[in-house]
Amino acid sequence: MKSIVINGGRKLSGEVSISGSKNAALPIIAASLLCEGEHRIANVPSLVDVKTLAKIMRNMGVSVELTDHEAVIDSTRLASPEAPYDLVRTMRASVLVLGPLVARFGKARVSLPGGCAIGARPVNLHIMGLEKMGAEVSIEHGYIEAKAKRLSGAQIYFDIVTVTGTENLMMAAALADGETVLENAAKEPEVVDLANALIQMGARIEGAGTDIIRIKGVEKLRPMDHRVLPDRIETGTFIIAGAITSGNIVIRNCAPQHLDALLSKVSEAGAQIAVDKDIIRVTGTGGIKPVNVKTLPHPGFPTDMQAQIMSLMCLARGTSVINETIFENRFTHVAELRRMGADIVIEGGSAIVKGVPKLLGAPVMATDLRASASLILAGLAAEGQTVISRIYHLDRGYEDIEGKLSALGADVKRV
């Protein structure tokens, strides 16, 4: 079992380049199931989750080549529209193959993703949408069995904003007969990036990025040649790394316009932020001020940055309230931060974080992807050594984070 060892207390300085977005690459790779021919996708991050999706698609008979940050995919010879449990359970986002498979092949057998550390993660809204489009869906022996001669356009209202639900149904609707309207749709930048890829494939989509997306189905699509947008959560994680170490770093190849909520909170906490096109400069100014945070669907504060800003608030001069409204169990990092001396009390969906003068390095355990990032951030600022175990969680969503942090002057290594 690998671990990451950090000797804290160093101010970060220098430059870091952001990788492509995990949460855009996954749906866009799945979209290559929608039509024959060779799809080329650039700026694909080298992550375990991307490799898992590639394995699932190869298992169906699709040819997927992952080279240096590029995916070349040809789904012409797709043999079996099935995603097996032993692969799907390692990555819930595999459910993103469901919509494209039903749309292109008229059937799909996809394992129910099951829950994960942060919550039950149901996919009922994905299924509701497909049924509204005329698919027959049943759940048998832990698998979603879906079939439809041809999907028809439908009016679909999401009573909860769902990112992959919006993405799955947008892909399904691209080949449906007639128009589909998705209401209360997710507005995340990754949804917009997927829509752009689909439009390039010939899909007719309007309103991506707003809460009403209209998709007019077409008979056929053509292969894409698309570049994935930068990862805003990796960007946010490095912004906090600069602030929590009172460092001075330059973040390149990012998309500041996708991070308004985070940037305003980190500025409110006292860091100096300078934004210029695809560059963000972060200068930590010593004193960290407490801020209150409520996670919301985009453009609200991203739930995927909640654990990371909590690490920063552990060292604020005062008390912060962090309210997690998206997932029911996304505070698993709290117990680990407490081991490092943090003063945090959980009340229902909120964490009350009382700043302490310093954190002390300790052996801690990663529990999920973003919790791992929050422990790394705390370890960078803590006095002494922090050893983070179970870092396979980290490798799902961060490309070479220890290499990028070392290049910024951190004392971090993988053992």
Vertex 340, ends 363 and 263: CA angle to 5°?
115
Least distance (Å) between residue 366 CB and ligand EPZ:
12
Please, which residues have CB within 8 angstroms of residue 67's CB and are 6 or more apart in sequence? Answer: none
Residue from 90, 162, 308, 311 that binds ligand EPZ (CB under 6 A)?
Answer: 162
Q: How many residues bind ligand EPZ (CB under 6 A)?
A: 23
Residue among 2, 66, 68, 1 at smallest CA distance from 32: 66
With respect to ligand EPZ, which residue has the nearer C-beta, 305 or 382?
305
Go through the chain and tell me how many residues it has.
415
With respect to ligand EPZ, which residue has the nearer C-beta, 171 or 315?
171
Compute CA distances 289 → 83, 156, 248, whole Å. 47, 43, 18
Least distance (Å) between residue 371 CB and ligand EPZ:
10
Least distance (Å) between residue 23 CB and ligand EPZ:
4
Burial of 280: CB neighbours in 10 Å, binned 0-12, 13-18, 19+: buried
Per DSSP (E only), the strands in 174-266 are 179-183, 204-206, 212-216, 225-227, 248-252
Is 116 a residue of the active site? Answer: yes
Interaction with ligand EPZ in 366-385: which residues (CB under 6 A)?
A: 369-370
- Only one of the segments 19-27, 282-290, 334-342, 402-410 lies at the binding site for ligand EPZ (rule: CB under 6 A); that segment is 19-27
Residue among 300, 310, 359 at smallest CA distance from 332: 310
397 interacts with ligand EPZ by CB under 6 A: yes
- Only one of the segments 35-43, 117-125, 352-360, 383-391 lies at the binding site for ligand EPZ (rule: CB under 6 A); that segment is 117-125
342 interacts with ligand EPZ by CB under 6 A: no
Least distance (Å) between residue 198 CB and ligand EPZ:
16
Least distance (Å) between residue 156 CB and ligand EPZ:
12
191 interacts with ligand EPZ by CB under 6 A: no
Interaction with ligand EPZ in 93-112: which residues (CB under 6 A)?
A: 93
336 interacts with ligand EPZ by CB under 6 A: no
The amino acid present at 149, given as its one-letter code, is: K
- Only one of the segments 121-129, 193-201, 212-220, 283-291 lies at the binding site for ligand EPZ (rule: CB under 6 A); that segment is 121-129
53 interacts with ligand EPZ by CB under 6 A: no
Residue from 18, 19, 20, 23 that binds ligand EPZ (CB under 6 A)?
Answer: 23
Question: From the centroid of its chain, how far is CA 344?
Answer: 25
Q: Which residue has the tokens 């990796």?
A: 234
Q: Where are the alpha helices (DSSP H) in 160-208?
A: 163-174, 189-200
The distance in angstroms from the start CA to the end CA of the chain is 9
Least distance (Å) between residue 29 CB and ligand EPZ:
11
Least distance (Å) between residue 302 CB and ligand EPZ:
6
Q: Which one of the listed residues 35, 116, 254, 314 is annotated catalytic? A: 116
**Cα–Cα distance, 266 to 390 (Å, whole number):** 28
Residue among 308, 303, 295, 297 at smallest CA distance from 269: 308
Least distance (Å) between residue 165 CB and ligand EPZ:
5
214 interacts with ligand EPZ by CB under 6 A: no
**Cα–Cα distance, 333 to 306 (Å, whole number):** 10
With respect to ligand EPZ, which residue has the nearer C-beta, 165 or 355?
165
CB of 255 closer than 8 Å to CB of 276: no
**Cα–Cα distance, 151 to 210 (Å, whole number):** 24
Burial of 363: CB neighbours in 10 Å, binned 0-12, 13-18, 19+: middle
The amino acid present at 412, given as its one-letter code, is: V
Residue from 26, 41, 288, 312 that binds ligand EPZ (CB under 6 A)?
Answer: 26
Residue from 19, 43, 164, 306 that binds ligand EPZ (CB under 6 A)?
Answer: 164
- Only one of the segments 37-45, 68-76, 157-165, 275-283 lies at the binding site for ligand EPZ (rule: CB under 6 A); that segment is 157-165
Residue from 12, 54, 125, 250 that binds ligand EPZ (CB under 6 A)?
Answer: 125
Residue from 42, 136, 138, 160 that binds ligand EPZ (CB under 6 A)?
Answer: 160
Q: What is the DSSP string of 282-326?
A: EE--SPPPP--EEB-STTSB-GGGHHHHHHHHTTSSSEEEEE--S
Q: Which residues bind ligand EPZ (CB under 6 A)?
A: 22-23, 26, 93, 119, 121-126, 160, 162-165, 303-304, 326-327, 369-370, 397
Residues known to be catalytic: 116
